[in-house]
Structure 1
């Protein structure tokens, strides 16, 4: 049987038809403007991780009691400055098998890593990602990052790397430059392994940081962050060749996105990421607004004005250190960008404080939520700042030709590339958005009218709103997740509002300065993740969900989403 396009691309596509649900078609217009797409790239710190952690198989092998007087030595089994020397080396058959995806002696670059994965000149003259002739310090889950680990391999802005050309220096640095390791069994093992294999699994860090071992304990966790996996404390030395075969997720994601930008045709493009902490609501950060301008987009896009190299450099500006994965807040902010704030002031008319009804939080007319269960942070003042929804950091479109929407037939979309489920992502004016949608008769994909009741939400058995998680092998309550995710709403079946935000953008007429119904669709690509909330966001946004597990399928997913934006949109069968 001939395989479908999605099967050939190796993608998991989310298009819901269960329970009578079908996507509603968008208004039909004659094409007068090319589609406009904002790429929203996840900059959560988990994007630093490897797609698959370096193996911990047999990680406790060789554990023996510390011999008297050698607590800080480089003996096997000893616990010293660099950590506990258990499971180290490169000869254990199970470990060697688990690392068989890399072979420095192979003639195939896909196995030997001889070709730098992302040799972008924007990063400098030498191959930063990654030099096959250098050795890098790593942890089992990610490369050592200068902010939280030493010795470091990745700079604070993720644009440069630091490696060592000789095995001995790389090994000694990983052992914290302590003389007690000189000519020790552990040091000699490391030198032998990186020379013959291209990698060495080193000590497991056990000691807290102090003045003499600063940074050697691995990244510390705040009270409102989940515990780290064991792999975060395992030290490795790896050749750049290893990293070229299996780079960190952020290296893969930005390379695939740049490759799409380099070739995509007949589409205006912009680049954004989740914004830095700005209080409660965190507007997205726009590295590059939609290009080209309207006057350079019709009848055909002017390549010089599109400036693909500029857009690709914008991708490289992403700093992958956010402790929030604020998809919903970013979508809300991008809705403001598409709303023509500078022309008809529609967004301000909707979301200027004080909102009516209320501040916008279900369960209380003037804001408020539970206190942070991890830190004790006060939840009473949720969303009450006078500029909460109109912050100065909020990106707006310009005037004249510098507009987000060039014509009443334009198709607009956000394509989200993310590595996981949203967290700390509920600061959006949910009650006001639902009030606007109800007044305009918005309907769910199955045709039922949207409902929303924020009164007494803790005890209300049917608060309404948007939650399609029950269509994706879960229950609606499964998407009420609250662990390490604050603030959240109080209403059962609608404690998280990311899908509500996507629904608002795809169902509300965001502009008042042109005819038609100007909406924005949301497509979600889960890089190694297909959690029900991500799929609910895509359905609510009248888009598609794709899961991509490999670099090629990630690129294909982005291209497939672009094709969906450009193709005529009709209801699913």
Structure 2
């Protein structure tokens, strides 16, 4: 069975994006609409790398659990005991707990364990992929949570997610007593249960709520370390991290049914991407995420390079060689723990992957240090640096000046012993990234927010190449760039289209909790510059034509102007999706656009 996406795009009375429930943004043909596809769909399968957001924020729920409460509803005893309602014990302050407050019940009305509708009662496991080590989620088990996400033992306790493994097994309990007792800290002096004295009021409340509602809002962590035990406290805000929301400190116990109705973002995005991989054909697919800390520039992590190989892709496409089970497994292997959302750095590294570096040193000829004598490619002070980190004091003078900054080889960290894979390159045989001069090369970014800590790229060198080649903005004007004295230069140039998306260019100079940044007003963040470079520069010398890479962005619950600027600069498209179905459809729609509006499914 084949779906003629191209025909649907151009002959439906209502645009396909709208019928799929998408918010469709501006793409590279201009600010008015989608790129016009070619008369015929290309025969050479496009190459598409999925760049999946693996930042820690992907652990969050799409909507935080409610802090709603009815004023005056909760008891306020004068001298509450540690296990009483309103008391403070090792698990935190028991204020506004329970499941009966009318405001809280109303705010949780999206879930009903007694409903006959699986979409509301959560009886169907959201992601039962047998490749995972644990179902996400078992309906009749209970999980520890905070108001913003499942409890993660790296940051908070008691925990459900153990360490860095987001495949499972998850920490859960099958009975209300164990779940409630565990949630309050295994401290019988604070929270007695059974015996001569009976259960404490807080324990009784918890067990009643889990039995009747399937959820319980528990104590809130307090800074009073003498009361809240260290194992029950957290999370702790890092110096260079924005303030944590109040929901981060509220404890909950949730049945798997609740989590199946509203899973965390990473569970939704992971399932959507696997569903897409299972459905499309006649495309070469790869999976990447943002890379771990390598110093300044953090190369992306390639979980799976493009497949099938060139000889299995054209002129006959070997569908079995796409190896969907391995691609889905690569998605399952993603660990959502990055403290940065480095879209621009990942795009830059993927540009190296699509380049002809191994054939003719294309990338190395451009980005071997010093990429520009005296400034290492930065529009800042101090031979390429920037200001010191205002939160931690980390010096900025040596920003991006390592001899192999943009060509990082694999290495093991001498302090931690951890292996870091370095910059990914294509293979030397049939596993090349670009098989044919007619191949469409694309990156589809799935991100739940604007980039953060994402500016370690050789901006000056990229702009020098573009300016020398006469690159033009979508409106036809020539690209300009001048990195001299950026703090006093009223027009440094470069790429910034945020003023087309309901804000100003200066607003996209966001610097709070986003160090390091450039210094030129109107272009302090460089992620859209990277997308522009990839979409306007021939990345290969070893074949004809112009081998550029387009960037599509799917904003999962987010329409940040910078995300939209990246998509426009990348000659792709921006699509916002707020629900699981529209997230999957947005990715499918992006795939259709990589081949001129045509996408087929088996």
Q: 1:133 aligns with which of 140, 155, 168?
A: 140
> Does the 8 Å CA contact 1:359/1:384 hold for their aligned counterparts?
yes
TM-score, normalization by structure 1: 0.95
**What's the secondary structure of 1:181's corresponding residue?**
coil
Q: CA deviation at 1:530?
A: 0.1
Q: Are residues 1:318 and 2:334 paired?
A: yes
Contact 2:218-2:250 within 8 A present in 1 as well? yes
Q: Match of 1:424?
A: 453
Is residue 112 of structure 2 the alignment partner of residue 96 of structure 1?
Answer: no
Give the secondary-structure state (helix, strand or coil) at the position aligned to 1:121.
coil
| Preserved CA contact (<8 Å) 2:369 2:404 | yes
**8 Å CA contact 1:479, 1:532 repeated in 2:** yes
* Offset at residue 212 of structure 1 (A): 7.8
Task: Determine the structure 2 residue equivalent to 1:378.
Answer: 395
Q: Does 1:43 align with 2:59?
A: no
Name the CA distance, whole Å, in 2 between partners of 1:317 and 1:169: 30
- In structure 2, do the counterparts of structure 1 residues 19 and 263 end up closer, same or farther at CA, with 3 Å as the change threshold? closer
Cα pair 1:22 1:445 within 8 Å, conserved: no
Deviations 1:320-341 (A, max 9, x none): 1111000000000000000021
| Counterpart in the other structure of 2:427 | 398
How does 1:325-474 map onto structure 2 within 5 Å? 325-357=341-373, 358-364=375-381, 366-392=383-409, 393-474=422-503
User: 1:59–1:282: structure 2 CA closer, same or farther, 3 Å change rule?
Assistant: farther
Larger mean CA deviation between 372-381 and 298-307 belongs to 298-307
* Cα-to-partner distance string for 1:216-254 (whole Å, 9 max, x where unaligned): 222111100011101001111110000000000000000
Q: 1:92 to 1:427 in 2, by over 3 A?
A: same
Q: Match of 2:4? A: none
Could you tell which deviates more after superposition, 139-148 or 482-491?
139-148
Residues 1:513 and 2:542 aligned together: yes
Partner of residue 556, structure 1:
585
Partners in 1 of 2:15 and 2:73 — Cα distance? 50
Q: 1:27 to 1:433 in 2, by over 3 A?
A: farther
Q: Does 1:123 align with 2:152?
A: no
Change (3 A) 1:141 1:212: closer
Partner of 2:167: 159
Secondary structure at the counterpart of residue 345 of structure 2: helix
Match of 1:7 in 2: 18
CA-CA distance at 1:74 after TM superposition: 1.3
Indicate how the Cα distance of structure 1 residues 23 and 238 shifts in structure 2: closer, same or farther if over 3 A, else same. closer
Aligned equivalent of 2:181, options 156, 172, 194: 172
- 1:422-453 CA-to-partner distances (Å, cap 9, x unmatched) read 00000000000000001100000000000000
Distance 1:445 1:462, change over 3 A: same
By how many angstroms is 1:163 displaced?
Answer: 0.9
CA spacing shift, 1:347–1:29, aligned 2, 3 Å: farther
Residue by residue, what CA displacement relative to the aligned partner does 1:519-550 show, whole Å, maximum 9, x if unpaired? 00000011010010000000000000011000
CA distance in 2, matches of 1:246, 1:175: 24
Given that 1:473 and 1:532 are in contact with CA atoms closer than 8 Å, whether structure 2 keeps it comes out as yes
What do the CA deviations read for 1:390-433 (whole angstroms, capped 9, x no partner)?
A: 00100000101110000000001000000101000000000000
- What CA distance in whole angstroms lies between the structure 1 residues aligned with 2:69 and 2:509? 37
Instruction: Check whether the contact 1:437–1:508 (CA below 8 A) recurs between aligned residues.
Output: yes
- Between the aligned partners of 2:597 and 2:577, the Cα distance in structure 1 is 24
Alignment match, 2:292: 276
Whole-Å separation in 1 of the counterparts to 2:204 and 2:573? 53
User: Per the alignment, in what secondary structure is the counterpart of residue 173 of structure 2?
Assistant: coil
| Contact 1:149/1:215, CA 8 A, preserved across alignment | yes
Question: Which range is displaced more, 214-223 or 523-532?
Answer: 214-223
Whether contact under 8 Å (1:328, 1:499) holds in the other structure is yes
How many residue pairs are counted as aligned between the two chains?
Answer: 565
In the TM superposition, 1:134-149 aligns within 5 A as: 134-149=141-156
The answer to whether 1:224 aligns with 2:240 is yes
1:167-199 Cα shifts (integer Å, max 9, x gaps): 011011111011121211111000000000000
> What is the DSSP-based 3-state SS (H/G/I as helix, E as strand, rest coil) of the residue aligned with 2:379?
coil
Whether the 8 Å contact between 2:38 and 2:596 is mirrored in structure 1 is: no
- Contact 2:27/2:35, CA 8 A, preserved across alignment: no
Over 3 Å counting, the alpha-carbon distance change for 1:284 and 1:61 in structure 2 is: farther
Are the aligned partners of 2:37 and 2:596 in contact in 1 as well (CA < 8 Å)? no
- Is the CA contact 2:28–2:571 (under 8 Å) kept in the aligned structure 1? no
Q: Distance in 1 between matches of 2:562 and 2:181?
A: 45
Residues 120 and 208 (structure 1), Cα distance of their counterparts in 2 relative to 1, 3 Å cut: farther
Helix, strand or coil at the partner of 1:342: helix
Shift of 1:29: 10
- Aligned partners of 1:423 and 1:296: how far apart in 2? 38
CA separation of 1:556 and 1:210: change in aligned 2, threshold 3 A: farther
Name 2:518's counterpart in structure 1: 489
> SS of the counterpart of 2:230?
coil
* Local SS of the residue matching 2:232: coil
Separation in 1 of the partners of 2:72 and 2:466?
Answer: 60
Shift of 1:566: 1.3
Q: Is the 8 A contact 2:66 2:104 kept in 1?
A: yes
1:77 to 42, 64, 86: 86
Cα drift, residue 356 of structure 1 = 2.4
* Cα distance, 1:28 vs structure 2: 10
| Other structure's SS at 1:122 match | coil
Using the TM superposition, name which of 465-474 and 84-93 deviates more. Answer: 84-93
The answer (yes or no) to whether the contact 2:222–2:228 under 8 Å persists in 1 is no
- RMSD value, Cα: 2.1
Gaps of 5+ in 2: 1-11, 193-198, 410-421
CA distance in 1, matches of 2:226, 2:311: 59
Sort the Cα spacing of 1:402 and 1:544 in 2 relative to 1 into closer, same or farther, 3 A.
same
Aligned-partner SS, 1:169: helix
Map of 2:216 onto structure 1? 200
